[in-house]
Amino acid sequence: MFTTEVLWGLQLGGFVQYSFALFCLLAVVHKVIVLLMHIRRTSRNYDAFPGPPAHWLFGNALQFKQDGTDFDLIVKWGLQYPYGYPVWFGPSVCYFNSHHPDYVKSILKTTEPKDDFFYKFIKSWIGDGLLVSSGQKWFRHRRLLTPGFHYDILKSYTRLMSDSVKTMLDKWEIYSSTGETFELFEHVSLMALDSIMKCAFSYVSNCQTESGTNTYIKSVYELSYLISLRLRTLPYHNDFIFHHSPHGFRYRRACKVAHSHTEAVIRKRKEALKGEKDTGNILKKRNLDFLDILLLARDENQQGLSDEDIRAEVDTFMFEGHDTTASGIAFILYTLACHPEHQQMCRDEINQVLDGKDNMEWEDLGKMPYTTMCIKESLRLYPPVPGIARISTKPMTFFDGKTLPAGCLLGASVFALHRNSMVWENPHVFDPLRFLPENISQRSPHAFVPFSAGPRNCIGQNFAMNEMKVVVALTLRRFQLIDDPMRKPKLIAQLVLRSLNGIHIKIKAMNT
């Protein structure tokens, strides 16, 4: 028989359970109400900007198939919505995607920080370096790192780049003799990594000649794929869900490989610089490089960068300096393979400049105007970074009077901008003469932004352009590039512009 105390205990226990259940229900209801209010407020921000219809739960995310047609869709939307339009990823995340020079100018001319949605997914890999940092930290790091890209530093890199390119071209001799089609991007990625390790870190990696696939390159591919996958997969936006998923495990494993690579480079240089405080002493032994600048940089208070900041900047430059450049170079070579008449005009110019030399010199880089125009036209059609994102910290008014409030996610679609028919006549046609000085002067400076623009433009753009010129010059001097019409690239965005099925060409040895 139950006593009064037992009955009272059971009633109290039931009341506690009921109260807990009610509390959970109210918490869920509160969360739903807050989410609905956020969705409504976000939706109102874009009332002045019509856009493609979006699913109530998935937004426009399911319309991006990652099958090689996504950029066609973006260009199509650009024709329908001339200046910009909202794109929804899920029910509450919305980007305002712009593709007109005057709109892009409003976004890029400011020092607005990178967005807090997409870029947070990449921070655990590259840290809080120049690419993603903001405010005073960004200003300080930009100021400290700028000397690392002075032409006196870049000048010494030209011969090192040439050496890396020649290693790649030596490996290509087998394809020249067989005439078979081969995939370009992996070769170029290894060459670009080899080049940046030699130039920026004075580190001989032998990554082009060692057996097997380079583990760092593999980790970069893996991380790029997984970050792109996370962006498109709504549940993966939650840190807890992604962390405990199989893809989260793969991401952490790839991060570990990338960070180990970076730490080894930094550790070796720190040991070499022990006791060195004067760059003059280093210059007596060798040329200064980016890592020297990074480790010896001091601000007005004689404060250097922390170990964490150094690793973040090295990780950032290791990725940005090789992966984006590799994308640009691979598509440049592919584009020249598809346009043999322009390829030959470049070759004639290059042979005249080199005059029998098999190396590029610093002075040669400025003597190839037509080749430079072809490089720029390829970067227009195939921008290595196809989109740029920011978040507004204050209201932004565009040239036509329309305004977006603070807190909006802003995207500049570089790919759609570069193929905007309001700006470029026959935008899908390869025409290097668009970059004649008289034609450039008739366009907005923000019509062509492969390296971004404004105060947050790419700090390494001169390094990248120099490397592209070296690669094109030495490649065309040695080989004729031939496209394979059966293996057209299927363009996808995975941090940088890539091809789902690779980038394939054939080559034929030139009589040099």
Question: If you search the block for the tokens 């790029």, which residue do you land on?
Answer: 224
Please tell me whether the overall predicted TM-score, pTM, comes out greater than 0.75 for this model: yes
Q: Which residues are bridge partners to 389 per DSSP?
A: 411
Question: If you search the block for the tokens 């979006």, which residue do you land on?
Answer: 54
Q: Rounded CA gap, 345 and 187, in Å? A: 25
Span of 298-302, 397-401, 406-410, 420-424 with lowest mean pLDDT: 298-302
* Dihedral of alpha carbons 421, 423, 424, 428, sign: negative
Q: What is the mean pLDDT of residues 392-414?
A: 93
> Each residue of 109-136: pLDDT tens digit?
988 888 877 788 888 898 888 888 888 8
More confident residue, 482 or 280: 482
Query: Which residue, 49, 74, 118, is CA-closest to 404?
Result: 49
pLDDT, residue 14, reads 65
Average pLDDT taken over every residue of the chain: 88
The fraction of the chain above a pLDDT of 70, given in percent, is: 89
Model confidence at 211: pLDDT above 60:
no
Q: What is the mean pLDDT of residues 362-366?
A: 95
Confidence of residue 382 (pLDDT cuts 50, 70, 90): very high
Tokens representing 298 are 């001091």
> Each residue of 227-285: pLDDT tens digit?
888 887 878 988 999 999 999 999 999 999 999 988 888 888 888 777 665 655 665 55
> Each residue of 23-42: pLDDT tens digit?
677 666 666 665 666 566 77
**Cβ–Cβ < 8 Å for 497, 331:** yes
**Cβ–Cβ < 8 Å for 442, 448:** no
Helix and strand numbers (H, E) in the chain are 21, 11
Q: Which residues are bridge partners to 93 per DSSP?
A: 89
Question: Looking at the chain, how many residues does it have?
Answer: 512
The CB density around residue 14, as the number of other CB atoms within 10 Å, is 10
CA distances from 314 to 150, 256, 307, 309, 325 (A): 18, 15, 11, 9, 16
> Each residue of 87-114: pLDDT tens digit?
998 888 889 999 999 999 999 998 888 8
Query: Which residue, 396, 491, 413, is CA-closest to 452?
Result: 413
Q: Which residues are bridge partners to 397 per DSSP?
A: 403
CA distances from 190 to 57, 184, 214, 330 (A): 41, 10, 8, 12
Confidence of residue 16 (pLDDT cuts 50, 70, 90): low
